[in-house]
Amino acid sequence: MSVSAASHLSPSYPDRAAWGTATKLRAWQQEAFDLYLQREPRDFLTVATPGAGKTTYALRIASELLTRGIIKAVTIVTPTEHLKRQWADAAARVGIGIDPEFKNSQGATSRDYIGVAITYAQVSMHPALHRARTEARKTLVIFDEIHHAGDAKSWGDGVREAFEPATRRLGLTGTPFRSDDSPIPFVSYVEDAEGAMRSASDYSYGYGPALADGVVRPVIFLAYSGEMKWRTRAGDEITATLGTPLTKDQLSQAWRAALDPKGDWIRQVIHAADRRLTEVRRGMPDAGGLVIASDHESARAYARHIRTVTGEGAQVVLSDDPGASKKIKDFAGSEARWLVAVRMVSEGVDIPRLAVGVYATSISTPLFFAQAVGRFVRARKRGETASVFLPSVPLLMGLASEMEAERDHVLGRRRDEDGLDDLLLEQAQQEKKQPDALGDELPFQTLEASATFDRVLFDGGEFGTAAAPGSPEEEDFIGLPGLLEPDQVASLLRKRQADQQAAKRKVKPAEDSEPALAPHELMHELRKELNGLVGAWNHRTGQPHGVIHAELRRSCGGPAIAQASAEQIRERIAMIRKWATQRK
């Protein structure tokens, strides 16, 4: 393939170019490409946010190296079978023949191909074979989502053995961190100020810069709380509200009840998400939605809910279905509304029209969350937005607030330092046919699960107040235009928040206009609301609850919460909500 042909790769290849790009590489891709050619490295690690265009960039490098005769073959290593075919399709469009069906038992591929696409698992099963293939021809190895190369000792050892002789190695990842201390092969680590070893990328392009460049969409997170009621094995009936301080066991069970297909929470959230999808489709007619489920049983049940809500079926994708890749490809090229998948669409799968998501899984690792949200952020034209619906669980709320945080893989860190050890990614990615074990240590039966709109999270800020599904307050946020610039999103969210607060002040001219609650009931509700907000602020900032309460007292005046009046507690609620709307 010629250099000239390679230089005309579409910026968002193999899909439509995003707004702000021409027929050549995007600015970040060109900058990283130029740096690569300047250094001529054997190993190069590129970190770029999901949706930024890593495939285009990597194929441009492969084309250049092939044209210059530096390499004669290309091996692409991916986490999943589906991604092998996706890479082969992309490469074929620019004249690089890649065999995605290569099997270890073959030993060699057809001369019609310049290289192969294989999985990390495939390499680990026969590293000597892949080493021999690598030694036979000058080879560029492209590691797609290279953090997977450390998933298990056998994977890491296999990758090292197979590709140590490679002429060039190009590592790609959108999430350069892991849930454990397994070193990633061919990645450099440098000692940080605390003595831990931190991964060092050669080029990095984070979500923040990509958002500023119009390469990715702004993501609006719509959080839903609600009251859950369940019965334990001992016959006890327990009620808890998502979004309020709960013990670990209470939280896990309330979360499980929310995701239970038999409860109303998930039905109401899917209904709200479909209304949001309808609004988004006014500006993006082919916009699609994705529900990320925990297990097969729930996925099928969610699809039935979608049919009830929309009148049309949802495509269900399960990884053990031999037609899974075709279903994803068909959905990507269609105008169907909804796709339901069990975990497998959490990384690397390219469906640019996905714009609305429902995070209906119990997985809370930062890595899985980042990869899942990454399915919605690829921009195709100016002003497209993404909306992700999720339960009001502190872990998830914190991750949503930290969308722009850029992490490295750190070896030797404290085990609870950054929450990356809540569940190993490889466990998270194992698709389940049965419901998750979340809360199984205290089995229960869901009795009730209702949803309440909680708040919107965007760009580190929080907007909105609790409201019933279908209420005008919820509609203010579900009905946001689907085509907005990031600064327009923030401005409109602030305006909706201010309008709602003004409306509440109008309908409450006097203290006696409160709902007919006994004084102790009213105080209980206000304290519960304030404590819930303090809990969310604690997760966002890391400040202890007592410090937050003390700062609220300094800002608003008055005694400790136990002695504070209803009006004083309201002032503190308003103050902490004000903090949440001001990015820190």
The per-residue pLDDT for range 282-300, each reduced to its tens digit, is: 999 999 999 999 889 999 9
The kind and range of the H/E element at 155 are helix 153-163
d(CA 455, CA 459): 13
CA angle 69, 74, 78 (to 5 degrees): 155
Check: CB of residue 156 under 8 Å from CB of residue 183. yes
d(CA 499, CA 93): 51
Q: What is the mean pLDDT of residues 540-569?
A: 84
d(CA 11, CA 8): 9
d(CA 366, CA 176): 11
Check: CB of residue 74 under 8 Å from CB of residue 62. yes
pLDDT of 440 strictly over 60: no
pLDDT at 423: 35
- Helix spans in 78-152 (H): 81-92, 120-125, 127-136
Residues contacting 164, CB < 8 A, separation 6+: 131
> 370 falls in which pLDDT band (50, 70, 90)?
confident
HSE, CB side, 13 Å, CA atoms: give it for residue 195. 2
Check: CB of residue 316 under 8 Å from CB of residue 299. yes
Structure confidence by residue, pLDDT tens digits, 302-340: 999 999 999 988 999 886 677 777 888 899 999 999 999
**Burial label, 396 (beta-carbon count in 10 A; 0-12, 13-18, 19+):** buried
Least confident of 32-36, 434-438, 459-463: 434-438
Structure tokens at 49: 């946010």
Q: What is the mean pLDDT of residues 445-453?
A: 91
Check: CB of residue 306 under 8 Å from CB of residue 340. yes
Least confident of 23-37, 158-172, 489-503, 565-579: 489-503
Peptide bond into 14 cis (omega under 30): yes
User: Which residue would you say has higher pLDDT here, 185 or 115?
Assistant: 115
- 469: phi then psi, degrees, rounded to nearest 5: -60, 135
Q: What is the mean pLDDT of residues 145-173?
A: 85
Q: Is 541 helix (H, G, I), strand (E, B) or coil?
A: helix
Least confident of 26-35, 107-116, 453-462, 502-511: 502-511
Check: CB of residue 64 under 8 Å from CB of residue 29. no
HSE, CB side, 13 Å, CA atoms: give it for residue 102. 29
Structure tokens at 466: 């609790």
For tokens 């206000």, name the residue: 526
pLDDT at 152: 57
Q: What is the mean pLDDT of residues 61-68?
A: 96
pLDDT at 539: 66
pLDDT at 151: 56
pLDDT at 269: 96
Residues contacting 324, CB < 8 A, separation 6+: 82, 317, 318, 344
> 213 falls in which pLDDT band (50, 70, 90)?
confident
d(CA 12, CA 29): 11
pLDDT at 403: 67
- 289: phi then psi, degrees, rounded to nearest 5: -120, 150
For the question of whether the overall pTM of this predicted structure is more than 0.85, the answer is no
> 507 falls in which pLDDT band (50, 70, 90)?
low
Structure tokens at 227: 């009251």
- Exposure string (b/e) for 174-187, b if CB count within 10 Å is 16 or more? bbbbbbbebbbbbb
d(CA 478, CA 456): 10
d(CA 350, CA 10): 15
Length of the chain in terms of residues written? 584
Strands (E), 351-438: 354-360, 386-391, 410-411
Residues contacting 43, CB < 8 A, separation 6+: 169, 171, 186, 187, 188
Q: What is the mean pLDDT of residues 465-470?
A: 81
Q: For the chain, how far is it from start to end, CA to CA, in angstroms?
A: 49
